Structure 1
Amino acid sequence: MEILIRLYLAFLKIGTFSFGGGYAMLPFMQKEIVENNAWISMSEFSDIIGISQMTPGPVAINSATFVGYKVGGIIGSAIATIGVVTTSFILVSIISKILNKFKESIVIRSMLAGMRPILIALIIYAFIDLAKESYVDFKSIIITIIIGIILLSKKVHPILVIVIAAILGLIFYL
């Protein structure tokens, strides 16, 4: 029972204090999941991020579901997932009622404009942390360069990019 409470509170904290969603949440998630609670390793965290890109849904929810399952089974999975969405659910419910009053406010628009640059910084920080785990050898760098070239030169569907990366992984690592 204690672990379920810890799961809920950790993911409630992630959902409450991680602004920007998605990749902007990664540094905070890493701190809570890997460092503070040691529920998974950094390598497993990197795998979660990769898997989250192949499965539908936001990174935070997929991560909560995975970590919750690993730590507390199906109930843990549900508890962690509920924890990460609790604050957003409450805030969206409240804000949707009053947003129309303030949507033209210069103060609100200025605050939001001021918060955008930090999202880029958080994404870069998450990239650097994940890169440390992902770039283990020259082959992984080559795969990144090939995929980068494909992404920059052609409009390729993300699923196809994932399939190409998997095929390159098979070629290089088998």
Structure 2
Amino acid sequence: MIYLQIFWSFFQIGLFSIGGGYAALPLIEHQVLEIHKWLTLGEFADLLTISQMTPGPIALNASTFVGTKVAGLPGAIIATVGCVTPSCIIVITLAYFYFKYKNLSTIQGILKGLRPAVVSLIASAGLSILLLAVFKTEGVTLTTMNLSDINFISIAMVAAGVVVLRKFKMDPIKVMIAAGIVGIFIYGI
């Protein structure tokens, strides 16, 4: 039964992950944290970090990670297949129709209409990650927030990362490595 739940959850994630990995994060969060409670919020943050660091799409890496945690190697395989199956079906179907009807204005309108929805999904995921990094405790809301809940070291690291990436155009991999080293010294010691 757990294998069917894993497959169906990641099939849904794969089916509605329009816009790539970052757009899938709210869907993954909803399935993994809220519906099935397979991970804690801290484990979800680790999942995001691992999924972004490993090669491949974020949703696919996340499905493999969650499948492994929930049901071992068979769970990883089933979650990965569940995540990929809708994409394969959709891409084959869309490719056929796109090449057949690509000059129609309706198709161009649909594609233009999807862009804002994808941007909002990415922004929602980014805001969730930012709030997780900024606050020391899980479950803090704007109404229950105290000054002591804010992790000022994380805010400084986020700000420094943004400045280095935007102003100095530094390689993102080097920024991640530097942030990891700083994190080891600050949080590990």
- Structure 1 counterpart of 2:73: 74
Write the mapping of 1:13-32 to structure 2, written as runs, cut at 5 A. Answer: 13-32=12-31
Match of 1:49 in 2: 48
Task: Give the residue type in structure 1 aligned to 2:42.
Answer: S
Q: 1:2-58 CA deviation, whole Å, 9 max, x = no partner?
A: 111110000001111232121111111111111000000111111111112211111
Question: Where does residue 86 of structure 1 map in the other structure?
Answer: 85
2:164 to 141, 147, 150: 150
Distance 1:17 1:55 in 2: 22
Equivalent residue for 2:141? none
> How far, CA to CA, are the matches of 1:62 and 1:140 in structure 2?
25
Amino acid at match of 1:127: G
SS in 1 for 2:111: helix
Check whether the contact 1:143–1:165 (CA below 8 A) recurs between aligned residues: yes
Shift of 1:79: 0.3
The CA deviation at 1:123 is: 1.3
- What RMSD over aligned residues (CA atoms) do the two structures have, in Å? 1.2
- Residues of 2 paired with 1:107 and 1:94: CA distance? 17
How far apart, CA to CA, are the structure 2 residues paired with 1:15 and 1:113?
21
Q: Matches of 1:145 and 1:28 in 2, distance apart?
A: 27
Take 2:133 and 2:93, find their aligned partners in 1: how far apart are those partners? 40
3-state SS of 1:19 partner: coil
Superposed CA deviations along residues 48-89 of structure 1, whole A, max 9, x for unmatched, are 111122111111000000000000101100100000110111
User: Structure 2: any 5+ residue segments left out of the alignment?
Assistant: 137-150
SS in 2 for 1:63: helix
Higher normalized helix content (fraction of residues) = 1
Can you list the C-alpha shifts for 1:99-152, whole angstroms capped at 9, x where unaligned? 211122211111110110111111111122222221131111111111111101
Q: Larger RCO: Structure 1 or Structure 2 (Cα < 8 Å, ≥ 6 residues apart)?
A: 1
SS of the residue 2:39 aligns to: coil
Q: State the 1:158 CA deviation.
A: 2.1
Distance in 1 (alpha carbons) for counterparts of 2:176 and 2:51: 12
Q: TM-score, normalised by structure 1?
A: 0.94
Task: Tell me the residue number matched to 1:33.
Answer: 32
User: Number of aligned pairs?
Assistant: 173
